[in-house]
Chains A and B, each alone.
Chain A
């Protein structure tokens, strides 16, 4: 089974490789060409800069961007040139070089001061928005993330990305998000290349990403490059800071619900550095003030820790070690306790072969687990579940010439699924139960070539070939149409079985229409072999990840997108209009009343269907100057169809919100004040309401007819924030959430009227009205 499936993949892959290389343009032979390479860094703290531009002033349209490790390589004809090195928020560096041999040039950029009344220097801003072979991708500026208002003052990356077009929140104040109609489990969230399976703290109200430890955030909802795979709908690539290479520093903040502290500094100056960032909430401190002995022993908190170290071993090698550990704890004494969290670890080695060949090798570990404690005394029992990954990957980048580079690599993940176990004491009335663990191997190889095909036509085309196999020991079940077991097959230890293989083409083309505008088109196919089962539509502490099996097929998505990109005012304003269509196969829903926890036949409760989403996204963004921010508008529709739901009729997905508007403004008003505002508007979620009532067993029961046939009221909200810098070392941030106190509907439910229990009334719950908060931040 496995060999027959894998062989055609290999053949196609080889054919692809050959045809790909055959298409590489041959360099002009009349002139000698030399390669410049090196690293772009922040001159103040030695932090590498991701996506910095090295542009040749004399050669129009010739330049290179630094990769995720700050490395660039640029091959140009012999001559004397002025190199312009640009990075947003940094002063442009101009360097005159005589290119007559291959050489390594490292650049240190200096951060700009607060840009008050800045005079716009033309040519300083990058036109990457228009010229790059990237679409449906957005980079978050951490400066903006830190400046924009936040609920209870807690700056949150996952809430900031929800302000981008095409991304929708899973609920008020929730960190779960939907990307172009995809589910919350279809987002690949990478923290230093390690997948994070449950990115939420505090039951979804905060994310696990401590903004103090994060350097770079990039979200891709379409045109997903071949090096990423494993999830259908989006990639969120989060890179943490490397730590200050020059000097030691301590910074932190104290807010209403949490405190943060970061320590960083050189291990050896300009060679190695470390950073440790920690955070803990203390909202439950108030519970201890209660006189109630149950409440004052109740705990409700989380903490997390990010740590990273890196070291440069000569010109060609650099190693990084990074880790994350976070835990949530919620304990209601003698009744119930939840403890859940993620741990990730990454070891990376960058190596440069020659001047044009960059390699990264990463080993990552990722773990999500929870333990629920139920009851008290001898009858107490603990339910545990989780998932663990070991991942080895290598990525190569070959910089052939200007606008000509090749990326390829592989990725092998060993997954272990812990579907659930119960442990209890010897005298407990609860039995010790353990569901069978599952093991799986997920492999992928990819190749991708970016090239200027004709003048002004740039393409990035690639292919990812992935396989997924279960590894014994395991039992597979087959079920009849009622969900009852038909047969059981046993597989011995170490045997690979139930292999799936997928070819995932990826393609983006950019055609420059004129100096300031381009048209881009993309297609990508993505495969997802892991599935989230949850009794919630967003991430939840009891999330259960399951592998593809004989019953659960891999999910596939095909997406096409077309966009018009245009810059205005010397690249000061970036505008884009994209339209997309996405089709998703084998998406999962549940039989009614599915009991997902500790269920050995959980697959019998699943339903498989189709989803599709299409829409238009408009974005106008300004990244530089004292006033920055964006306006985003999304018009979209998302539907699903399952044979067993809604009589087989297609229905609107819950996240189908026709209109979605986000306005984000950050204004540096003076050297001491930064003011920011967010306004959001969206059509209400599709919801299921009853269409009748009946009486059963002495209870008045609602009667449901159609899935998601109703709409919640539309949602809108304005948040404001002001940051007041108290000198060099500290600042105060004031935030107001929901400034005009809009009573947004978090949920609508129905209840019997108190005055007349024979009648029913609809009740709207509002979660967050007007909420002010203040946070103190410091740095030494």
Chain B
């Protein structure tokens, strides 16, 4: 009882190539030197409103040089950051830490409302809007011991939820094992687990969301189901394309993710609905 999301079959060439190369043990990798041009720093915005109580955070940073140490991207301070909704609330966010702005008036995201973000930084104005979808609850979450195929025994974690009757629902699933702060929802920790109702509209569906690590007895599995608007889904989907590109010379040229931010800013602004369930393996 598992359904592979449509996104998974779009690159048969990747999968086939991997199998082909693994069979023939032919391909090899080596680290090389590449000289890259340096782009002018660009504003990076990350803003999130959810059905969890606030305060909500908008983070402003700048892009950096490709090969230089890159954990400390310069924060963008002293910006004007305004969060609004479509019932007349407006909240000027306060900079708590360098580049981190928090809300004080808009403290509870409500499905159906459209939230707006305006950022004025270094003389340029950037904007975005996101409509929070209805919250789709998790119906059930359970673990079954995996069949002993090959050398990877463990548990399969299944998530069930019912898609609403009207088309156009989008989801992201985040799986965490034991530590609820560390997502482990994919093979390499970078991949997004995204679903749309393109093929499953209106249906109750089960998804296998097996965790990255072999899960063992005693582990606590936490699964978040995020209901996204289309723009956020497209952002994550195109971001995921970049992060998991099949690296072949025949794949399409990479480009920056499709963002809902205006004026060339990188990043995204989203309002999503949220549900969480936890299962403990006994």
Contact = CB atoms under 8 A, between A and B. Distances in A.
Contacts of A542: 10, 12
A202 interface: yes
B233 to A, nearest CB: 10
Contacts of B38: 691-692
A703 B3 contact: no
B4 A374 contact: yes
B97 interface: no
B22 to A, nearest CB: 9
Given A430-B203, A696-B239, A763-B32, 19 more contacts: A203-B12, A429-B200, A430-B3, A431-B199, A542-B12, A593-B255, A595-B10, A598-B198, A691-B39, A691-B66, A693-B65, A695-B70, A699-B190, A703-B39, A709-B37, A756-B69, A759-B67, A759-B68, A763-B31
Contact of B6 (A537, A597, A698): A597
A693 B4 contact: no
A761 B239 CA distance: 19
Nearest to A596: B10
A336 B4 contact: yes
A186 to B, nearest CB: 16
Contacts of A771: 26
A699 B203 CA distance: 32
| Shortest 7 CB-CB contacts between residues of A and residues of B | A691-B39, A429-B205, A593-B238, A292-B150, A694-B63, A762-B34, A749-B247
Given A379-B1, A431-B200, A590-B252, A696 B28 contact: no
A697 interface: yes
B245 A379 contact: no
A626 interface: no
A704 interface: yes
A375 B61 CA distance: 41
A292 B149 contact: yes
Interface in B24-58: 24, 26-34, 36-39, 41-42, 44, 46
A707 interface: yes
Contacts of A743: 28, 30
A756 B24 CA distance: 31
A337 to B, nearest CB: 10
B39 A705 contact: yes
Contacts of A699: 190, 239, 243
Most buried by A among B41, B151, B250, B251: B250
A473 to B, nearest CB: 23
A176 to B, nearest CB: 7
Contacts of A696: 44, 46, 239, 266-268
Interface in A200-236: 202-205
B11 interface: yes
B149 A294 contact: yes
A695 B61 contact: yes
Contacts of A541: 12-13
A341 to B, nearest CB: 14
Interface string A537-555: 1101110000000000000
Contacts of B202: 431
5 contacts: A293-B150, A593-B257, A699-B243, A769-B26, A771-B26
Contacts of A536: 13, 248, 250-252
B187 interface: no
Interface in A673-723: 685, 687-710, 712
Interface of A: 170-172, 174, 176, 202-205, 283-284, 286-287, 292-295, 298, 300, 330, 332, 335-336, 338, 372, 374-379, 381, 383, 422, 429-431, 433, 535-538, 540-542, 590, 592-593, 595, 597-598, 654, 685, 687-710, 712, 743, 745-750, 756, 758-769, 771
Nearest to A430: B199
A133 to B, nearest CB: 37
A292 to B, nearest CB: 4
Interface string B176-216: 00000001000000100000001111111110000000000
Contact of A171 (B68, B237, B250): B250
A683 to B, nearest CB: 14
Contact of A204 (B242, B245, B250): B250
B31 A762 contact: yes
Interface residues of B, number: 85
Given A336-B9, A692-B65, A685 B256 contact: no
A745 B255 CA distance: 21
B254 interface: yes
A379 B204 CA distance: 12
B120 interface: no
Nearest to A593: B238
B254 to A, nearest CB: 5
Given A537-B252, A702-B242, A767 B21 contact: yes
B263 interface: no
B258 to A, nearest CB: 5
Contact of A535 (B26, B69, B252): B252
A598 B4 contact: no
Interface in B129-164: 149-151
A171 B248 contact: yes
B33 A762 contact: yes
A284 B16 CA distance: 12
B28 A760 contact: no
B73 A690 contact: no
Most buried by A among B202, B238, B239, B252: B252
B249 A685 contact: yes
Given A171-B249, A764-B32, A433 B16 contact: no
Contacts of B37: 691, 705-706, 709
B229 to A, nearest CB: 15
B91 interface: no
Contact of A747 (B15, B19, B70, B247): B247
Interface in B54-104: 61-71, 73
B234 interface: yes
Contacts of B30: 743, 763-764, 766
Nearest to A541: B12
B262 interface: no
Nearest to A334: B2
Contacts of A376: 2
A121 to B, nearest CB: 47
A703 B42 contact: yes
Given A379-B3, A691-B66, A746 B266 contact: no
B64 A694 contact: yes
Contact of A759 (B62, B70, B238, B266): B70
A709 B253 CA distance: 11
A707 B204 contact: no
B250 A538 contact: yes
B199 to A, nearest CB: 5
Contacts of A381: 199
B281 interface: no
Contacts of A171: 248-250
Contacts of B150: 292-295
Given A689-B34, A763-B31, A593 B258 contact: yes
A767 B27 contact: yes
B241 interface: yes
A692 B64 contact: yes
Given A691-B37, A758-B69, A697 B46 contact: yes
Given A293-B149, A294-B149, A593-B238, A692 B66 contact: yes
B28 A766 contact: yes
B20 interface: yes
B16 A203 contact: yes
Most buried by B among A172, A335, A694: A694
Nearest to A370: B12
Contacts of B63: 692-694, 703
A712 B23 contact: no
Contacts of A767: 21, 26-27
A429 B239 contact: no
A197 B81 CA distance: 54
B84 to A, nearest CB: 22
Contacts of A298: 19
